[in-house]
A and B are shown apart, each in its own frame.
Chain A
Amino acid sequence: MELFTLGIGHYTETDVKESARALTGWTVDDDQFQFSAARHDEGDKMILGQEGAFTGDQLVELLLNQPATAKRLGWRICQTFFGENVVGEAELSQLAEGLTSHRLDTNWALKTVLHSELFFSEKNFRSRVMGPVEWIVGSLRALEQCDPPASTLGLADWSERMGQDLFYPPNVGGWNGGRSWLASRTIIARANYAHALAEGKLWHPAQPPSFEALAEKHNPSGRFEAHITWFAKLLLGQASPSFVNEILTAAKDAPPEERLSTAIACLLAHPQSHLG
């Protein structure tokens, strides 16, 4: 009830106890779900203000029909796809009502969200901290460094260092996400990742990536400065001339064949790069 349907505040300790009675008889045997009728409490239960001889299935039905469940599901979807302060109470209620009338169809909800003006609005751009996996994969895709692909086990290790140990969330509630992705250790991991990417250490065997080809594709015979500007816009969303100058200065002392990758590492390690 707490995490997966209603959310805290929409049920009481008594509801929990009564629901436990409804669930009696549910068990797992030899990795298969089993219902043991002999162990099921067939008496009347009072759950969320309703009385009945609820079975486990009926309990599930009851929970799914609660408005709080639709609201919480809508909220979780918004947490995933929208940034800070983007979705208001009105929009959330609207989504929750839609979910209720579509029998909690998440496909419908996702379509609605991804086709919405709000999703594409200015205020939804760069309004959330990207989690490790999306930041890692996003960086490689944006830089078109997926062929050959980097070592996925290596990337998973980087993700763990950034705080997202895949398939091992810290507790039943999953990862909190958002701003909590940025702690000292995880920020340093992101900077070290940027360095590893630039040096080609994400691949086995190590191979410095070629960003020149990508740069040329978008800025044929452009000057180095034009390339930097393009990458800054790609990775950070914008690039003022003074900012580009700073990057040029940072990359200036690198050996010529490393100047571009050094610049890109700098961009990836910039705070703005973590926002999506």
Chain B
Amino acid sequence: MMQLSRTRLLPGSLLLLGLLLLPFSLGWLPIVRFTAEEIAIAVYPDHIQMNGTYHYENPFPFPVTQGFLIPLPQDSRHPEPVQIATTILSPVPSTLPVYFILGSHGFTASFAAKERLTIEVKYTQYTPDRDAWYILTTTQPWRRPLQKGLYTLSFHQTSFKTSNYPLIQEASGQYAFMREGFMPQEDWRFSWNISK
């Protein structure tokens, strides 16, 4: 009869550890903290350009690699966004390759111990019906509310029509709303008219 308990303890422990770490390393579950975001959407007659700046923090005293998924707002009336680009803005600017796997766009970023990263994600979406939405509810899996969120619409040859989040006009052709301690319960939906 083979010895069982002791010889299986270490590999069994490692197997359990690996299974526990798998969702984190694949980005299915967060290991870093998502602290703030600034979303700037430029609205044109037939398309929008989304420019998102996201702030993350590694709370651990050792380096980690976090996988991120990029949720894209698409349905039968809103085709898949394109020109998706991801960049680390700070501390050291660099481009992050975007991959498409198992139906989702994503990227990975390596964090040094206790490091904070500012990451920019951009995309362009064709919007023939002059309405669009930005997915906010994916904040929930991060389990903590955003410390701060700033959301801006700037209109180019267009004018503001509707938004499910109340907006404040900050300048000509620019509207925004801000939240602190923000755990969104619904996505941000907005529409526009074409300026004459």
A in complex with B: no
Interface residue ranges, A against B (CB under 8 Å): none
